[in-house]
Amino acid sequence: MIFDYETYKVIWWCFVAVLLLGFALTDGFDFGVGMALPFLGKDDTERRVIINTIGPTWEGNQTWFIAAGGTLFAAWPLVYAAAFSGFYLALMLALFALFFRPVGFDYRSKIADPRWRSFWDWGLFIGGFVPPLIFGIAMGNVLQGVPFRYDDLLRLEYTGTFFQLLNPFGLLSGALGVAMLAMHGATFLHQKTEGAIADRARRMAIGAAVLTIALFAVAGAWAATGLPGYRITAMPDAGSVFMPPAKTVAVAAGAWMDNYSHWPLTLAFPAAAFAGALLAAALSAARRTVAAFLASGLSVAGILLTAGGAMFPFVLPSSLTPGHSLTAWDAASSHKTLAVMFWVVVIMLPIIVMYTSWVYRVLRGKVTSDHIRDNEHTAY
C-alpha cells in the first residue's frame, strides 16, 4: 500500500467525485437530449435525428452511473447502503424512469406505427427528465441532512418519508438539476445537428443557461445563509479505523461556507458554475457550438463541485443524530480495499477515457435528415 489510510480516504473522495462528474458530464447531455426530444423534434424524421445524435453512445455514458454505483459500494459501503435504502422510493422512481431508455432507443423505430413511436418518444422524455429531477432533489436533501441513525450493530434506521424530500430547497435543487442538464443537452444537440433543429436547440440552450444561473444563484445564497450546515467538533484521528458514531458534529447556519473561507481557492467552483453557464449562453448565441458545449460542461462540473466542496468531508449528514453523519473519514472501506480499488481506478479510468474518445471520434459529424432517410432501417 503506497499511501497511508488518511491519504487514501481523501483520494477516494476525489475518485467518487470524478466518477460522478463523468456521469453528469456524459450521460448528462443524454438526459438533456431526452428532455428536448418531444419539443424540438416536430416530425418523425426530426425526432429520429435527435435520437440518433446520442443513439450510438448513450449506453456507454450511462455506464458511468453503473460504475459509480459499484465503486461507491466498494469504497464507501456505508454511503451506498444509507443513501440508497434511505432514498428508497426516490431511487426506485429514478430506476423506473431509466428503464425507458435502453428499450426506447432500440425499439422505437422498429415499428412504424405513429402511436408506438410517440409512446416511446415520451418514454425517452421521462427517462431524460425524471432522473435529473430526482438526483437534484436528493442532492438538495443531502445538503440539509437526512434523518437516519445507527444502532449498536451499525444497523441503519431511516425515519424520513418520500414526501419529506419534496421540501422547498429539495425542489429548488431538483429544478437546478433539470435546468443544467437541459442546457448541457441543448448545447450538445446544437453542435450535432443543423437547420431548424439546431436553431431550436440554440434557443433552448440559451434559455436553460439563463435559468441555470438564476436557480444556482438562489440555491447558493440560500445554502450560504439560511441552510443549516454541519461541522465536525471532535473525532478520532482521520488516519485511524473508526465508524460514524465515534465523532461529534455541530449543526449551524452557514457552516457549509467553512471550506470556502478556509480555502478561498475553492471559490473557483461556484465561479466556474456561473462563468460556464454565462459563456454557454453567449457562445450558443454566437453559434460557436463546440465551445458552448464545453462551457456548459464547465458549468455542470462547477455546480456539482460547489455542493460537494461545501460539504467536504461530509458525504451524507444525519439530521436525526448529527454525530452519525457519514464522512470521507468514517464511511470508507478498509485500508486494503481502498488500496486495491485505487489501482483499479488508476488503471481502468485512462483506458476507458481512451477508447470512449476513439468511439466519439469515429462517430463525429452531424446527424442530418438525409442520414436518417439513407439509413431508414438501421438508424434508431
Partner 1 sequence: MAPVDEVVALSRLQFGLTAMYHFLFVPLTLGLSWILVIMESVYVMTGREIYRDMTKFWGKLFGINFAMGVTTGITLEFQFGTNWAYYSHYVGDIFGTPLAIEGMMAFFLESTFVGLFFFGWQRLSKVQHLSVTFLVALGSSLSALWILIANGWMNHPVGAEFNYETMRMELTSISEVIFNPVAQVKFVHTVAAGYVTASMFVLGVSAWYLLKARDVDFALRSFAIAAGFGLASTLSVIVLGDESGYTAGEVNKVKLAAIEAEWHTAPAPAGITLFGLPNDKEERTDYAVKVPYVLGLIATRSVDKQVTGIQDLKKEHEVRIRNGMKSYAALMRLKSGDKSPEAVAEFKSLQDDLGYGLLLKKYTPNVVDASEEQIRLAVNDTIPKVAPLFWAFRGMVGLGILFLFIFSAAFYFLIRKRLAPQRWLLKLAVFAIPLPWIAAELGWIVAEYGRQPWTIAGILPTHLSASNVQPSSLYFSLAGFALFYTVLLVVEMALMFKYARLGPSALHTGKYHWEKQA
The answer to the question of residue 346 lying near partner 1 (CB under 8 A) is no
Query: How long, in residues, is the chain?
Result: 380
The answer to the question of residue 1 lying near partner 1 (CB under 8 A) is no
The answer to the question of residue 155 lying near partner 1 (CB under 8 A) is yes
Question: Do the Cβ atoms of 299 and 280 come closer than 8 Å?
Answer: yes
Count residues near partner 1 (CB under 8 A).
74
Whichever of 107 and 222 has its CB closer to partner 1, that residue is 107
* Residue among 144, 127, 135 at smallest CA distance from 176: 135
DSSP state letters, 341-380: HHHHHHHHHHHHHHHHHHHHHHT-S---HHHHHHTTTT--
Whichever of 243 and 285 has its CB closer to partner 1, that residue is 243
Q: Which of residues 296-315 bind partner 1 (CB under 8 A)?
A: none
Q: Which of residues 350-369 bind partner 1 (CB under 8 A)?
A: 352, 355-356, 359, 362-363
Q: Which residues pair with 133 in a beta bridge?
A: none
Q: Which of residues 95-134 bind partner 1 (CB under 8 A)?
A: 95-96, 98-99, 101-103, 105-107, 110-111
CA distance 121 to 47: 8
> Is 251 strand, coil or helix?
strand
Residue 103 Cβ vs partner 1, minimum distance, rounded to whole Å: 5
Q: x/- site string to partner 1, residues 240 to 279, per CB under 8 A? A: -xxx------------------------------------
**What letter does residue 162 receive in the DSSP assignment?**
T
Among 158, 222, 260, 312, binds partner 1 (CB under 8 A): 158
CA distances in angstroms from 213 to 177, 203, 346, listed in the order given? 12, 16, 34
39-51: burial string, b at 16+ Cβ within 10 Å, e else: ebbeebbbbbbbb
Among 3, 7, 77, 257, binds partner 1 (CB under 8 A): 77
The answer to the question of residue 320 lying near partner 1 (CB under 8 A) is no
- Span near partner 1 by CB under 8 A; candidates 93-101, 216-224, 300-308, 312-320: 93-101
